[in-house]
Chains A and B, each alone.
Chain A
Amino acid sequence: MKIGIVGVGITEFRIHEEPFYNVAYQAAKTAMKDAGIERREIDSFILGGYDSLGVGRTISNMYVAPAAGGYLRHEIRVADDAAFSIPLAFMRIKSGLSDVAIALGFGHSSETPVELVEVQSLDPLFHRDLKLAPQMGYAMQSYAYRNAYNVSEEDLAEAVVKDRKNAMKNDYAYVKEETSVEEVLNSDMAVYPLREPEIAKWCDGCVAFILAEETIARRINPDPVWIGGLGWSYDNYFLGARELDKLNSTKLAAEKAYKMAGIRSEDVDSVEIMDLTSDYHFMILEALGFADYGSGKELLDSDFPVNKSGGALCTNAYGSTGMFLMANLAMQIRNGEAERGITHAISGIGQNSVVCVLSK
């Protein structure tokens, strides 16, 4: 039995004045309309996003479950990037517990001092007092990566330029401003060695998917986007015990997803990656198997479509970024721009990754 995406709902990605649950409701409504189904036809309500401290409410489901249409039903949620809720929705259907599921991802940064919240997520005895913002963790990975493979600042700036260029063509992207290598290299140093445009900016936005088991999926939508493979993995929490010049969680997640789908990286024709920094852009592509370590820049010179959405560097809603990228790939497949692609999400200073294979 295959499992397909039969409905997609993407809200605007920007700074929303409305609280996250009202934006989430819009995403859910749009996805149901897109699938042409009523909420009573849904039998699993899966929620994903930065719960608790992330939105300043310890039980976000009090708002998000109703926003998903789950009034007096059940819900289950993942307090991580919403892309990590996709395996959960997939498994509920695959196991036969559910026929039609909604996966609703909420991303909201504008009410939250994100870095201060992220510091609270660190170990309280050994790390929290060191005030490590996530961007500082990414920067230490960037430093290690550049140092290990002699990657030039120009090549990294080019990754930003390319994402920005792609975002111009994406109605849903947040940062819509073209830039040049020169401009990136002359911009302010933010978190050394990362300059300001090399780090994803926070925004708000929500995404919902309607997923269904094969027979029902075909009845709902003549052309579902199938989830061919899934993999997720996590690396050591202790940064000092990790290889910081690589993204091993992504590598392991990708291996599992490829194995399940019975494909290799050569078999896909589009990829959406959660490049929270310019270095991540290359590091992720390498971990996914598209280039050797240190050679991710090769893809910039090729025609291979990476982040047609503009990537996380242009759209990074705190909690729904990975799901946003996945929705973009699903739309590309629907529109005939791609036949089979992979989508990637990462969280926790690169500790956790999830990779999905989507196909026609």
Chain B
Amino acid sequence: MVLKFEAKWEIPYVHSAGEHGTKFFEALREKKILGVKCPECGRVLIPPRAFCERCFVDTDEWVEVKDEGVITTVTVTYIKFTGLPDPPYATGIVKLDGADTGMLCLLGGVDLSDWKKVHEIFKPGTRVKAVWKDKPEGKITDILYFEPVEG
């Protein structure tokens, strides 16, 4: 037997959102989602970035996209990972209307306990809409999750 010692890191970083991030997070406060359009490939990128990594050019045109779109892929976690939320929770990539790239997000608003039933609801092509925090703070968590759009 060997001795074991517990260790924990708690380090308070302060990260800059940059000009692009700031504009994006300030728009979340208004329950709006902003992307940037690449002048070369014309794609609307979410999250917005200062340059298009594909074309290597500045992106300076802002575009508001819908807080509604379609699921492109999905997963539901049924096992507990240390330090992560209790299962089940659903994660997916949603392509918002007006955007050309998908957005990593949580999915919710449905009973996740039975994966066979979840699969019937959350699948590629399912239309979903953002459920916002009542009082958005300008953080990515202002969007609690995306839920299926009725009908």
Expressed in whole angstroms, the minimum distance between the Cβ of A95 and any Cβ of chain B is: 28
Specify which of B1, B53, B106, B118 is in contact with A130 (CB 8 Å cutoff).
B106
Across the A-B interface, how many residue pairs have beta carbons closer than 8 Å? 115
Contact of B47 with A113 in the complex, beta carbons under 8 Å? no
Expressed in whole angstroms, the minimum distance between the Cβ of A246 and any Cβ of chain B is: 13
Interface residue count for B (Cβ, 8 Å)?
Answer: 45
- Residues 224-245 of A, flagged 1 when their CB comes within 8 A of B and 0 if not, give 0000000000001011110010
**Hey, which chain A residues are within 8 Å of B55, CB to CB?**
none
Given contacts A136-B91, A239-B102, contact A191 B76 (CB under 8 A): yes
A140 to B140, CA, bound (A): 20
A88: interface (CB < 8 Å) = no
**Hey, which chain B residues are within 8 Å of A144, CB to CB?**
72-73, 124
Which B54-82 residues sit within 8 Å CB-CB of chain A?
Answer: 72-79, 81-82
Which A236-295 residues sit within 8 Å CB-CB of chain B?
Answer: 236, 238-241, 244
Contact of A191 with B78 in the complex, beta carbons under 8 Å? yes
Contact of B82 with A115 in the complex, beta carbons under 8 Å? yes
**Hey, which chain A residues are within 8 Å of B93, CB to CB?**
140, 239-240, 244
Contact of B101 with A241 in the complex, beta carbons under 8 Å? yes
Given contacts A116-B84, A239-B93, contact A125 B140 (CB under 8 A): yes
**Hey, which chain B residues are within 8 Å of A139, CB to CB?**
75, 77
Residue of B at shortest CB range from A142? Answer: B75
**Hey, which chain A residues are within 8 Å of B83, CB to CB?**
113, 115-116, 119
A192: interface (CB < 8 Å) = yes
- Residues 146-173 of A, flagged 1 when their CB comes within 8 A of B and 0 if not, give 0100000000000000000000000000
A236 to B55, CA, bound (A): 13
Expressed in whole angstroms, the minimum distance between the Cβ of B101 and any Cβ of chain A is: 4
A182: interface (CB < 8 Å) = no
B46: interface (CB < 8 Å) = yes
A39 to B22, CA, bound (A): 53
Given contacts A188-B78, A238-B101, contact A132 B91 (CB under 8 A): yes
**Hey, which chain A residues are within 8 Å of B104, CB to CB?**
126-127, 130, 132, 238-240
Specify which of A18, A115, A141, A196 is in contact with B81 (CB 8 Å cutoff).
A115
Which B4-61 residues sit within 8 Å CB-CB of chain A?
Answer: 7, 9, 13, 15, 17, 21, 25, 45-47, 53
Expressed in whole angstroms, the minimum distance between the Cβ of B43 and any Cβ of chain A is: 8
B105: interface (CB < 8 Å) = yes
Interface residue count for A (Cβ, 8 Å)?
Answer: 39
Which B73-129 residues sit within 8 Å CB-CB of chain A?
Answer: 73-79, 81-85, 89, 91-93, 95, 101-106, 115, 118-119, 123-124
**Hey, which chain B residues are within 8 Å of A140, CB to CB?**
73-75, 91-93
B133: interface (CB < 8 Å) = no
**Hey, which chain A residues are within 8 Å of B45, CB to CB?**
241
**Hey, which chain B residues are within 8 Å of A342, CB to CB?**
none
A187 to B95, CA, bound (A): 32
A38: interface (CB < 8 Å) = no
Expressed in whole angstroms, the minimum distance between the Cβ of B42 and any Cβ of chain A is: 14
Q: Which of B83, B85, B119 has the most CB of A within 10 A?
A: B83
Give me 20 other A-B pairs in contact (C-beta within 8 A), A124-B15, A191-B77, A240-B103 excluded.
A17-B1, A113-B82, A115-B84, A116-B83, A116-B84, A125-B47, A126-B104, A126-B140, A129-B141, A130-B104, A133-B77, A140-B75, A140-B91, A144-B73, A190-B77, A190-B78, A191-B79, A192-B77, A244-B72, A244-B93
The 4 closest A-B pairs by CB, nearest first: A240-B102, A116-B83, A139-B75, A113-B82
A–B Cβ pairs within 8 angstroms, 21 of them: A17-B2, A56-B7, A56-B9, A113-B82, A115-B82, A115-B83, A116-B84, A125-B17, A125-B47, A126-B47, A130-B106, A133-B81, A139-B77, A140-B75, A140-B92, A143-B75, A147-B123, A191-B76, A192-B74, A236-B53, A244-B73
Chain A interfacial positions (CB closer than 8 Å to B): 17-18, 53, 56, 113, 115-116, 119, 124-127, 129-133, 135-136, 139-144, 147, 188-193, 196, 236, 238-241, 244
